[in-house]
Amino acid sequence: MLSQIPPLSLLVTFLGLTAIIALRYALISGLFYWLLWGRPPEKVHAIKLMHGQPAPGSVGREIRWSLWSSFIYAAPAAVVIELWKLGGTAVYTDLAAFPVWYVPVSIFLYLFLHDTYFYWTHRIMHHRKIFPVVHRVHHESRPPTPWAAFSFHPWESVVGALFLPLLALVLPIHVGAALFILTLMTLAAVLNHSGWEILPTWWLKSWPGRNLITAAHHDLHHKNPRTNYGLYFRWWDKWMGTDRMENEYAFLNTNAAPSEEGAAP
Ligand SMILES: [Zn+2]
Ligand SMILES: [Zn+2]
């Protein structure tokens, strides 16, 4: 079926998708950068996770890598959209095609499977021989800002870009649910790299807070890259003994940043 895709249509879809991904990134990152880093700290009702300000030039570097990532993310997604037009994917538009309960179940399945893929590929990328080539770019953000959401080396972007389009070929998902997941993915990436925890302490200590990944959790990965590898859920980290958060809750009460400084990967 791949050979049936009209090349011009694929090119138009690819360029359009690149623009949408880059624009969505710019809007969400720009908004949270202004809200969290662009205003006086006393006006920000959130907890700053790292001392200091982003290093000069780091925002520009994060944006450059993120724009390259937008191109790379768009490529397999454009192929899937073209295949979808030809009826060759598991993406459906008729809500009646599956029971209504399947919509939230499919969203959960996509998030969990993506989280599983991310956790294991992320751990592999921290192998000392792979890290310098593939993943070091992402860890150059200290502290990360909302612009670091897609700040990956192209090799890492390729690894990240393939999974959801491939899943969309086999696991049924409503087109609206797919758009919801993609937007949630961008929002989570921006917030988890924002350098601030915007969620209240009571929420972080609740059941969802103890099982879902937020900025405080992922920020610890940027400080100590041997922990907290997950994307959405803390489950794989907990199951594999790499979750680290409980003893970090103290700083949430004092509104002071955690004392630990960066460690080598
Ligand atoms: Zn990160
Ligand atoms: Zn990492």
Q: Is residue 202 part of a domain?
A: yes
Q: Is residue 263 part of a domain?
A: no
- Taking the mean position of all CA atoms in its chain, how far away is CA 181? 11
Kindly give the distance from the C-alpha atom of residue 139 to the centroid of ligand 1, in angstroms, as a whole number: 7
For residue 209, give its domain range: 2-254
Determine, yes or no, domain membership for 199. yes
- Higher local confidence (pLDDT), 98 or 40: 98
Q: Output the CA 198–ligand 1 centroid distance in Å.
A: 17
| Model pLDDT, residue 258 | 45
CA of 90 to the centre of ligand 1 (A): 30
**pLDDT at site 246:** 64
pLDDT at 264 over 50: no
Residues in the chain: 265
Task: Provide the domain count of the chain.
Answer: 1
Is residue 259 assigned to a domain? no
Please enumerate in sequence order all residues whose Cβ is within 8 A of that of 97, keeping only pairs 6 or more positions apart, or say none.
Answer: 172
Ligand 2 geometric centre to CA of 11 (Å): 32
Express each pLDDT in 3-31 by its tens digit: 888 889 999 999 999 999 999 999 999 99
Task: For residues 165 and 72, give the distance between their C-alpha atoms in angstroms, rounded to a whole number.
Answer: 12
Q: Is residue 131 part of a domain?
A: yes
- 10 CA from centroid of ligand 2 (Å): 33
pTM, whole model, 2 decimals? 0.89
Secondary structure of residue 258 in the 3-state scheme: coil
What spacing in Å lies between the alpha carbon of 138 and ligand 2's midpoint? Answer: 7
Distance of CA 22 to the CA centre of its chain: 14
Ligand 2: centre distance to CA 23 (Å): 25
83: part of which helix (H) or strand (E)?
Answer: helix 58-85
Task: Determine the distance separating the centroid of ligand 2 and the alpha carbon of 90, expressed in angstroms.
Answer: 31
Distance 85 CA to ligand 1 centre (A): 34
pLDDT of residue 248: 59
Query: For residues 165 and 89, is the Cβ–Cβ distance under 8 A?
Result: no
Q: How confident is the model at residue 259 (pLDDT cuts 50, 70, 90)?
A: very low
Span from the CA of 122 to the centroid of ligand 2 (angstroms): 6
* Within a domain: 127: yes
Band the pLDDT of 179: cuts 50, 70, 90. Answer: very high
Here the tokens at position 133 are 């080539």
Q: Is residue 35 part of a domain?
A: yes
Residue 229, pLDDT score: 96
Specify if 264 maps to a domain: no
**Can you give the pLDDT at residue 145?**
87
Can you give the pLDDT at residue 262?
A: 38
